[in-house]
A = this chain, B = another copy of it.
Amino acid sequence: MPSGAAPLHRQIRAAIEAKILSGEWLPGTRIPNETELAATYGCARMTVNKALSELAADGLIERRRKSGSVVRQPVLQSAVLEIHDIRAEVETIGLSYRFEILKRQARQASRADCARLQIEEPVPVLALTCLHCAAERPFCLEDRLISLAAVPNAKNEAFAALAPGAWLIGEVPWSTAEHRISAVSAGPDASLLQRPLGSACLAVERRTWNAEQPVTHVRLIYPGDAHALVARFTPSKAG
């Protein structure tokens, strides 16, 4: 446990959010009114109001006067970037696949590590650097941080047969992922990828949570001239 408990309105918010995300309160469900919730949590109505206002601002519920608050139909989001398996990615294009762990270090999370996992308090982490090769040529450089609090088994895993990403998929479920895609000029990593210094690379960062617990953060660097992310999709019926 960190230093102190979360603020009350955040606890209430989290409790309601949990019921919605778990499916206990399905879309369309009318949730208890502010006065009832205040009684339930033993607090003032204003405190509940703050929690519900935040949920409404984040689009989880919809509020109407008199009729009360209802759980909203979730917004259709394009699940474009799947948690991808680099081996599959490489073999799909018909090349041989190989990976190599270049660095491995278990440590207490540094300040930078905390930022990567978006946590406040340091936890034990495992830092890995891994090179993925296609047809014996560098394909992608992986820099990963795994929270050992979320995945204790990682500490004793050698990653001999399965690459970290593939191993993790089998080990822990995930509930939320955030992707960030940007273009960078290759720095020192350029030599590992056998590219000239300063060449354009695609950086894909992914942060994964299981429930509210951070699981892993990974940064994948792909040589830009050799790679592209492709996503194809069809929208579901919209209103």
Residues of A within 8 A of B (CB): 21, 23, 54, 57, 77-82, 173-185, 198-203, 222, 224-225, 227-235, 237-238
Contact = CB atoms under 8 A, between A and B. Distances in A.
Contacts of A222: 183
Contacts of A173: 238
B185 A200 contact: yes
**Copies of this chain in the oligomer:** 2
B233 A180 contact: no
Contacts of A80: 78, 80-81, 179, 181, 231
A199 B184 CA distance: 8
A183 B202 contact: yes
Nearest to A222: B183
A236 to B, nearest CB: 8
Contacts of A21: 234
15 contacts: A57-B57, A78-B80, A79-B235, A80-B181, A176-B232, A178-B231, A179-B231, A179-B232, A181-B202, A182-B228, A183-B203, A183-B227, A184-B224, A185-B200, A202-B202
Contact of A178 (B57, B174, B178, B230): B230
A183 B201 contact: yes
